[in-house]
Chain A
Amino acid sequence: MSELVGRKQQTDREQPQRTRGGGMKAFSSLSLAMLKGFYRDKLSVGFSVLFPLFFILIFGTVFAGDGGSAPKVVVVGQVQVIDSLPAEAKAALEEAVELVPGTTLDAALEQVRAGDVGGAVEQQGNTVILHFSSADATTAATVQGIFGAFVSQANIVASGSPPTFTLQTEQVEDQSLQPIQFIAPGMIAYGIAVGAVFGAAATLITWREKKLLRRLRLAPVSTATVVSSRVVVSVAIALVQLVLFVGVSTLPFLGLQLSGAAYMAVPLVIAGTLAFLAIGLLVGSVAKTVEGGSGLANLITLPMAFLSGAFIPLESAPAWMSTVAKFLPLTYLVEGLKDVLVRGEGPQAALLPILIMLVFAAVVTFIATRVFRWDAA
């Protein structure tokens, strides 16, 4: 039969559509169904809420104690440079490193290798030898720095002339800056990404597998209503995550200090959620089974979390990583959140990240609709 006739009839018939009230009811009841489906699923709540929260708590408390504990350094035999220090200088050194007397060099080296101590120091003639292990790069660098500075100072003292230059260091951020300032925005962004990607992918795949997608096709509800209720539910979940994670991080024992246009975190999170939903939509369109879908979603979210600086700061990352990061929406959410939550930036700092994430969402959604299928087969 002629396709043309069919289409014409179709448009004629679409006029007596359902009332607006029915549409709203369908929308709110679909949203409620999805929300219940989310919070009754222990696994998805665990991954998108408890897991990031757990990381904030662990890293926040572990690293918070880091500043107070000075690395231990074993002093092997007599190290005259240290021994001959004036009391004041020795006190300053012992504030930076904890000096432990040691007997033999071999025993001390073993301790360094085992990571029990940050380093071992000995003196042979006029040479101060510092042994360190590169297994713990941070401690190694700290110890080397301290002893480097200490030896130069000792040299200056030995030369008998007063120092020409002095260095005074001051942190640009709040004096009370804690590691939580860097951990919290990354974890918030990660939790939101995981929630949205998995949420959208799981809904799409299970609904297709169970033929619920087809069932909804035969109900008087538009695709737009179904999609928009999923978007609204995901955005609501993301905003709850934001409030919860920021709230927990600002508890006194974690000590997150907000500085900047913190309210801009809301539009940032909304734009980010749209971008991650688009990824979830793509995953859900490509994957055939729930298992395949969650594998694929993990394959995307985990590397994305590392490459985007959600887990580790990008400042010290190799150049290729920074390049890859530029193509990941999570990077912009992490950076945007850091800017407005802890770096004291104004609202305009969030605008570019928001724009980039929205463009990303639009592009990926478009690709997803190209590969979308109603059927599992």
Chain B
Amino acid sequence: MADTIIATNVVKRYRALTAVDDVSLSVGHGEFFGILGPNGAGKTTLLEIIEGLRQADSGDVTVLGERVWPRNPKLLNKIGVQLQASAFFERLTAKEQLETFGALYGTSSQRITEMLEMVGLTDKAGTQAEKLSGGQAQRLSIACALIHDPEIVFLDEPSAALDPQARRNLWDVLRGINERGKTVVLTTHYMDEAESLCDRVAIMDNGNILQLGPPAELVRTLDAPVRISVEAGSLSVELARSIEGVEEVTGDKVSTVIATRRPAPVLAALAEADALEGLQVRGATLEDVFLDLTGREYRA
């Protein structure tokens, strides 16, 4: 089956800055795809080119087999977009926003009630968009993007500036959308978000895609050590260093951290020494992948 989104050799320059530098990618039907990178990596520019909002200097983008530029009326009903800013009509309530967007697509009023319920804003239906909290506004803007039941949803930094609880709520909403068979493409600068939600991620920096693949695979190919931490004092640093396969031991007053690429024998040895108090095992994350790829610490 053909890919839903195909971008080939996309380039976009703003004067001296190359925002998107020869990027190619494809997204499959029903896939949850993430574009991950720090601010200024070129994620939003790339996304807006794919949405058909911006013209690429060169390269080609097709969505559902259709060219996205110039504005293609055939695609408008099939894609839903949520832009970085809260693109609402001023002083309209949550329900009125959905009604207005719904009218643009000719959707039924039944759908509006459903959408409010889906994003958990039923009790905020009569609240003006300006008076919603950050998380509520983000969920409303996602509801507006989904009002016409599009096949593909584009979300630009949906969880930016949300508190952890609001982010978790939002993730549930996004997973729900994907489970209904929608293709979801989002940009994010949160590593954990990409890891938790996406089937595949493209790690972007300075307009380039550094690596692309399922998060687990990216982490695995990194071959980074696993960090095992136990309560400080459970075992001496010397003893820890003597365990086979241990690469590095660090510690402070709270815990002793053991780095290893072979966690199984190390854990067995720890169990034998009865030193599993406060055990935590942390594998490599996308942050480690980013560090490995760019040689610098990941800073959102």
Report which A residues bind B (CB closer than 8 A).
Answer: 1, 6-7, 9-10, 13-14, 16-19, 21-22, 25-26, 28-30, 32-34, 36-37, 40-41, 206, 209-212, 214-221
Contacts and interface: CB of A to CB of B under 8 A. Distances in A.
B96 A36 contact: yes
A220 B83 contact: no
Contact of B51 (A33, A216, A218): A218
A6 B105 contact: no
Interface string B64-98: 00110111111011010101111111111000100
B71 A217 contact: yes
24 contacts: A6-B67, A10-B70, A13-B66, A13-B72, A16-B74, A21-B106, A26-B106, A29-B100, A29-B104, A30-B103, A30-B104, A32-B100, A37-B91, A40-B128, A210-B86, A210-B88, A211-B87, A212-B87, A215-B81, A216-B104, A218-B51, A218-B81, A219-B105, A220-B105
Contacts of B106: 18-19, 21-22, 25-26
Contact of B100 (A17, A33, A41, A210): A33
B72 A212 contact: no
B101 interface: yes
B103 A25 contact: yes
Given A1-B60, A212-B87, A36 B104 contact: no
Contacts of A219: 76, 101, 104-105
A6 B104 contact: no
Contacts of A19: 106
B85 A6 contact: no
B296 to A, nearest CB: 27
Nearest 10 pairs between A and B by C-beta?
A29-B103, A215-B87, A40-B91, A22-B106, A211-B83, A220-B76, A219-B104, A212-B87, A211-B87, A211-B85
Contacts of A30: 100, 103-104
Nearest to B48: A214
B90 A218 contact: no
B72 A10 contact: yes
A9, A16, A17 pick with most chain B CB within 10 angstroms: A9
B99 interface: yes
A10 B104 CA distance: 21
Given A6-B70, A40-B91, 10 more contacts: A10-B70, A25-B106, A29-B103, A36-B91, A211-B85, A215-B87, A216-B104, A218-B52, A218-B76, A219-B104
A215 B82 CA distance: 8
Interface residues of B, number: 35
A220 B78 CA distance: 10
Given A211-B84, A218-B81, A219-B104, A41 B90 contact: yes
Nearest to A376: B85
B300 interface: no
B77, B89, B100 pick with most chain A CB within 10 angstroms: B89
Contacts of A215: 81, 83, 87
A17 B86 CA distance: 28
B73 A212 contact: no
Nearest to A26: B104
B87 A210 contact: yes
B53 interface: yes
